[in-house]
Chain A
Amino acid sequence: MTSTILEMRDITKTFPGVKALSNVNLSVEEGEIHAVVGENGAGKSTLMKVLSGVYASGSYEGVIVYRGEECHFKGIHDSEHKGIVIIHQELALVPMLSIAENIFLGNEHAKFGVIDWNANETRTSALLKKVGLKEDPKTLITNIGVGKQQLVEIAKALSKEVKLLILDEPTASLSEKDSQALLDLLLEFKRQGMTSILISHKLNEVNRVADKVTVIRDGRTIETLAKKDISEDRIITSMVGRSLDDRYPPREPKIGETVLQVKNWSVYHPIHAERQVIKGIDISVRKGEVVGIAGLMGAGRTEFAMSLFGRSYGRHITGEVLLKGKPIDVSSVSKAVDHGIAYVTEDRKTYGLNLIDHIKHNITLANLPGVSRHAVIDDLRELAVANDYKAKTNIRSSSVYQMTGNLSGGNQQKVVLSKWLFANPEVLILDEPTRGIDVGAKYEIYTIIARLASEGKAIIVISSEMPELLGITDRIYVMNEGRIVGEMAASDASQEKIMRAIVRGEGKAS
């Protein structure tokens, strides 16, 4: 026997100038895991904000029926009171407070404002056990990894007697192992009768745990699929409105001479000086070649790339970098850029963009001399450049004067990419270039990568998504614990081979 716990009917939400949601319907049964999928900017997060009361009742049209009664949430407090808890993609934990303090923040066991620490910690221990986290409640949040922080968020939700748990991209920044653990936990909760809504880009996860999938596109509900109809291809077709026969654009590699060579590269941790993060790496990349670096989270891939790019990470950096056979100095970002090296960050909001400035200024930032004379910027030339790259990378915005903070993830990524394309590098390092962006935008990014390679750039792609590496690269390095533990041509690589290299490498390291 199942009954409907939540029904959202004809939800329409308009922002000045934009209709974010139009007549969206969502119906969730008690005790199921209901996935909501859609491209970035499709309106998933807006829908969840409507549900949780972030957008107060009255600011949207439509009806929310929760457990048989019509609800008018005025704020997040109202919805939490009814047992609806949302865990956002960006975790809302205070880093310098303990696990226990975070879980009961604003909700402490206290008498007359005096906190009963024992009660808090006992309850925290019980909650941590439920989510399978073995940590002392007194541990500071800053000292545990992202995966564990996610579990703390869930424990916090449990402390509020949650009946409907909403997870917004919970595994976006988790490793494979942590993701699996989290999904298992969701399934465990389901057995205990809890209802969850899962928002995710990772279709294999959706495939694994979801009982139903609702697809949203351009602010409309497209369809709700039952368990038996769920397949990745079906979801993708529904999400993008066309079938993607091929998820990766075709490419004929024309590989030339070696452009970049890194020899015996070693890096130590910036704070824990005795810890060696990168241990003698040798790699090379040739003209027109796309080289992938595979590995698990924490393998040191980003650290390697950033240390190479003007020593932006780590200390006691040793090793040699050769560009077309000649040693070069990459000890500062501007020197690296001058030598034609560009690094497109994995974290575009923190390291990639000035979110309070518009597209035009962001695109030219890494190459201001390219639009100026005697340090005076030529406004019209800058505008022409920005419009040119907007067209080339297909940035969707009203104009180049739109703030980058208001763009969707895929379009933000295209702005960061444009910035580095305009710097005209010979070697382009792309760190997780498609993280958190939707299927349609991914294809566009792959197309840009393919085009750059055909223009003769040397490209390094760091990615945690193995199918992506297999689909777009020519050669793959496998990295683990700061070392290169394998190298293979993409044509005879497979997910199994990469995993085997990682496991073998782990054996060697210990």
Chain B
Amino acid sequence: MSTESTPAPKSGVAEDVPQGPRVAVSALITNLREYGLILALIAIMVFFQFTTSGTLFKPVNLSNLVQQNSFIIVMALGMLLVIVSGHIDLSVGSVAGFIGALAAMMMVIWPLGPLSNPLVVSIVCLIIGGLIGAAQGYWIAYHRIPSFIVTLAGMLIFRGICQALLGGGSSVGPLPDGFKALSSGFIPDVIGPLTLIPPTVNAAGKTIMGSGLTLHMTTIVLGLVAVLAYAYFGLRARRTREQHGYQAEPFTLFVVKTLVTSALALFLVYQFASYRGLPIVLMVMGVLIALFVFVTKRMTIGRRIYAMGGNAKAAQLSGIKTERLTLMVFVNMGVLSALGGLIIAARLGQAVPAAGLGSELDVIAAVFIGGASAMGGVGQVIGAVVGGFIMGVMNNGMSIMGVNVDWQQVVKGLVLLGAVVFDVYNKNKG
């Protein structure tokens, strides 16, 4: 039987996408549901933009927002795969705390000589994170111990080790500047700044902070390149589809989608450029998001994870090595927890015993707000990222508004419940 690249039969073409005048409308409706989450994020941002009288979108605050929430989003990428494969990981906050403490000890306290270099320490820490994930994943994958229990144990164990490592309740620091740049640094302006409005100089001959307008040109150029690439690849994918005789989404919808996304991206890029440029941690996050979107959407391993979460037995009988795959999902989670831990430590400039405490809940909430199913098999990377940003913007916005931390939690809980109820309701209706 011929299986290789058989040209599509004509009958399949017609059925691929329904045709007729209703296409545009129905496509819009399906897409509205798909983009509902992003619209929700935009609505929340606009809301806080008003209630904080414009502080939310201030360049300084945007940088803060990214630096405060990036570790949640980084860990949510791993958590998405864990949840899609039908598991849960409660240990990520503790692992992050432990790795932060370990990194601090290696860089500040232990006499490691040249090995205490931040880069070396970071690499070692990521490897150890992977090993922690492997240790937990081993019990889950090969001995079928429920992940809830294994990682609950891990949560206790690594929080304990974290505190013991730091010698009780003390914190260890300050961490070297090179390391802190991971969280608080910005990409260097290799092109050079462009001053549009020179800053005001006061009587003493010093410039006034925040006056004038100087653009970080490397940021602008990177932003433009990214937007153009996005539009180019979108167009190219459309063309290949059409060349193979398949119908792509309606052109108007594609144009609107691309324009809105690009405008939004360029606006944010401009805001960053008018401050100090793109934060390094945003670049790290962006690269990881792109990587995980690609892995889940296009790569066989991603497909296999979804199949395993949807029906593990069927996946196994289709030749998928489900045990090894589960182990890899947890190794990946471990590495990303470690990266999260490094980012937290770099932002605080020191390791504290409570670093990452409770963050597993924020991470899990982000994934569920993003539309993942607790039963496994369903969930999108972009959903988890947007879910993470929704949590982050709410944290940030409410803090600026001066909402009490206690009530912030109440609001976040309600948003989590509301998002999932909405999702389930929508699915049952469809």
Q: Which residues of A contact B (CB under 8 A)?
A: 309-310, 312, 332-334, 336-337, 343, 345, 350-357, 361, 365-370, 372, 375-377, 379-381, 383-388, 390-391, 398-400, 419, 421-424, 452, 455
Q: Which residue of B lies closest to A455 (CB)?
A: B1
B11 at the interface (CB under 8 A from A): yes
CB distance from A173 to the nearest CB of B (A): 17
Cα distance A332–B256 in the bound complex, in angstroms: 49
Interface contact A383-B301, CB-CB below 8 Å: no
B305-346: contact bitstring with A at CB < 8 Å (1 yes, 0 no)? 011001101111111110000000000000000000000000
Q: Which residues of A contact B9 (CB under 8 A)?
A: 387-388, 391
Min CB distance B33 to A, Å, is 14
Q: Which residue of B lies closest to A456 (CB)?
A: B1
Q: Are A337 and B319 touching (Cβ within 8 A)?
A: yes
Q: How far is the CB of B245 from chain A (nearest CB, A)?
A: 9
CA distance A352 to B313 in the complex (A): 8
* Contact call A387/B317, Cβ cutoff below 8 A: no
A/B interface sample: 11 pairs, CB < 8 A: A352-B314, A354-B310, A356-B373, A365-B303, A372-B299, A376-B299, A380-B244, A398-B18, A399-B15, A400-B15, A421-B1
A260 to B307: give the CA distance in the assembly, Å: 30
- Specify which of A334, A354, A423 is in contact with B321 (CB 8 Å cutoff): A334
Alpha-carbon separation in the docked complex, A345 to B314 (Å): 9
CB contacts (< 8 Å) of A423 on chain B: these are 319
Besides A352-B314, A387-B9, A399-B17, 5 more A-B contacts (Cβ < 8 Å) are: A334-B321, A372-B300, A377-B299, A384-B8, A421-B1
Verify A365–B315 contact, CB threshold 8 A.
yes
C-alpha gap A368/B298 in the complex (Å): 11
Q: Across the interface, name the chain B residue whose C-beta is closest to A380.
A: B244
Cα-based distance from A334 to B315 in the complex (angstroms):
11
**Contact B307 A354, beta carbon cutoff 8 Å:** yes
Q: Is there an interface contact between A383 and B8, defined as CB atoms closer than 8 Å?
A: yes
B240 within 8 A of A: yes
The verdict on A388 contacting B1 (CB below 8 Å), with A365-B307, A366-B318, A376-B299 known, is no
Q: Would B319 and A366 count as touching, CB distance under 8 A?
A: yes
Give the docked Cα–Cα distance between A379 and B16 (Å): 13
Q: B244 contacts A356, CB within 8 Å?
A: no
Q: Which of A345, A356, A377, A388 contacts B310 (CB 8 A)?
A: A356
Q: Which residue in chain B gives the minimum CB-CB distance to A425? A: B1
Verify B317–A368 contact, CB threshold 8 A: no
B300 contacts across to A, CB distance below 8 A: 368-369, 372, 375-377
Chain A binding surface, main DSSP class: helix
Cβ distance B261 to chain A, nearest Cβ, rounded Å: 21
Q: Determine whether B192 belongs to the interface, using a CB cutoff of 8 Å to chain A.
A: no
CB distance from A373 to the nearest CB of B (A): 10
* CB neighbours of B240 from chain A (8 A): 380
Separation of A3 and B173 alpha carbons in the complex (Å) = 90
- Interface centre among A377, A379, A387, by most B CB within 10 Å? A387
Q: Do the beta carbons of A354 and B377 come within 8 Å of each other?
A: yes
B321, A332: Cβ atoms under 8 Å? yes
Whether A380 contacts B299 by the Cβ 8 Å rule is no
Structural contact, B6 and A343, CB atoms closer than 8 A: no
Contact residues, B2-20 vs A (CB, 8 A): 3-9, 11-13, 15-18
Whether B317 lies near A354 (C-beta < 8 A) is no
Q: Are A424 and B1 in contact (CB under 8 A)?
A: yes
Check B314–A351 contact: CB distance below 8 A.
Answer: yes
Q: Which residue of B lies closest to A309 (CB)?
A: B317
Cα–Cα distance between A402 and B102 once the two chains are bound (Å): 49
| Interface hub of B9, B319, B373 (most chain A Cβ within 10 A) | B319
The yes or no answer to B276 lying at the interface (CB within 8 A) is no
State whether B313 touches A333 (Cβ < 8 A).
no
Contact partners of B315 in chain A: CB under 8 A: 354, 365
Q: Judging by beta carbons under 8 Å apart, are B12 and A387 in contact?
A: yes
Q: Nearest A residue to B241 by beta-carbon distance?
A: A380
Q: Which of B238-261 contact A (CB under 8 A)?
A: 240-241, 244, 246
**Which residue of chain A is the closest to B13 with respect to CB atoms?**
A387
**Are B311 and A355 neighbours in the complex by a CB distance under 8 Å?**
yes
**A185 CA / B63 CA spacing, docked (Å):** 75
* Total interface residues in chain B, CB < 8 Å: 41
Give every chain A residue within 8 A of B241 (Cβ-Cβ).
380
Pick the contact of A390 from B12, B317, B373 — CB < 8 Å? B12
Q: Are B311 and A353 in contact (CB under 8 A)?
A: yes
- A380-B240, A399-B16, A421-B1 as given contacts; A388 in contact with B6, CB under 8 Å: yes
Which residue of chain B lies nearest to A334 when distances are taken between CB atoms in the complex?
B319
In the complex, are the beta carbons of B12 and A351 less than 8 A apart? no
Kindly provide the distance from the CB of B263 to the nearest chain A CB, expressed in whole angstroms: 27
Q: In whole angstroms, how far apart are the Cα atoms of A23 and B321 in the complex? A: 50
**Cα distance A398–B16 when bound, in Å?**
8
Chain B residue contacts of A452, Cβ below 8 A = 1
* Interchain CA distance A351-B317 in the complex, whole Å: 7
Assess whether B378 is interfacial by the CB under 8 Å rule: yes
B304 sits at the interface (CB 8 A): yes
- Tell me whether A384 and B6 are in contact (CB under 8 A): yes
Tell me the complex Cα distance, A452–B1, Å: 9
One of B3, B13, B310, B377 near A370 (C-beta < 8 A): B3
Q: Chain A residues with Cβ under 8 A from B298's Cβ?
A: 376-377, 379
CB distance from B318 to the nearest CB of A (A): 4
Known contacts A370-B4, A383-B16; decide if A377 and B11 are in contact (CB<8 Å).
no
> Chain A: which residue is nearest B376 at the CB level?
A356
Given contacts A419-B318, A421-B1, contact A351 B313 (CB under 8 A): yes
Contacts of B320 in A (CB 8 A): 333-334, 365
Decide: A387 and B307 in contact? CB cutoff 8 A: no
Chain B residues, CB < 8 A from A353: 311, 314
The 9 closest A-B pairs by CB, nearest first: A387-B12, A354-B310, A334-B319, A384-B8, A366-B318, A368-B300, A337-B319, A354-B311, A333-B319
Which of chain A's residues have a CB closer than 8 A to the CB of B319?
310, 333-334, 336-337, 366, 423
**Contact yes or no, B317 A345, CB < 8 A:** yes
B306's contact among A343, A345, A357, by CB below 8 Å, is which?
A357
Chain B residues whose CB sits within 8 angstroms of the CB of A350 once the complex forms: 311, 313-314
> Please, which residue of chain B has its CB at the minimum distance from the CB of A366?
B318
- Residues on B with beta carbons closer than 8 Å to the beta carbon of A368: 300, 303-304
Most chain A CB inside 10 Å of its own CB: which residue of B9, B15, B16, B317: B317
Complex Cα distance A375/B304, Å? Answer: 11
Q: Is the CB of A361 within 8 A of B307?
A: yes
List, in ascending order, chain A residues with CB within 8 A of B303's CB.
361, 365, 368, 377
Shortest beta-carbon distance from A315 to chain B in Å: 15
Q: Is the CB of A422 within 8 A of B3?
A: yes
**Which of A343, A357, A370, A424 is in CB contact (< 8 Å) with B317?**
A343
Inter-chain contact A333/B3, CB cutoff 8 Å = no
Are the CB atoms of B311 and A388 closer together than 8 Å?
no
Most buried by B among A309, A333, A345, A350: A333
CB of B10 to closest CB in A, whole Å: 10
Complex CA gap A174/B303 in Å reads: 36
CA distance A367 to B313 in the complex (A): 16
- Residues of A near B244 (CB, < 8 A) are 380, 384
Contacts of A332 in B (CB 8 A): 321
A433, chain B: closest CB distance, angstroms: 15
Report the Cα distance A310→B318, complex, angstroms: 10
CA distance in complex: A379, B300 (Å): 11
For the complex, give the distance between the alpha carbons of A385 and B303 in Å.
16
| Distance in angstroms between the alpha carbons of A102 and B114 in the assembled complex | 69
- Given the interface pairs A368-B300, A368-B303, the reply to whether A384 lies near B7 with Cβ below 8 Å is yes
- The interface residues of chain A lying within 8 Å CB-to-CB of B321 are 332, 334
**Is the pair A380, B317 in contact by a Cβ cutoff of 8 Å?**
no
The answer to whether A391 and B12 have CB atoms under 8 Å apart is: yes
Which residues of B are found within 8 Å of A424, using beta-carbon distances? 1, 3
Nearest-Cβ distance from residue A262 to partner chain B, whole angstroms: 19
Q: A384-B7, A387-B9 are in contact. Are A375 and B306 (CB under 8 A)?
A: no
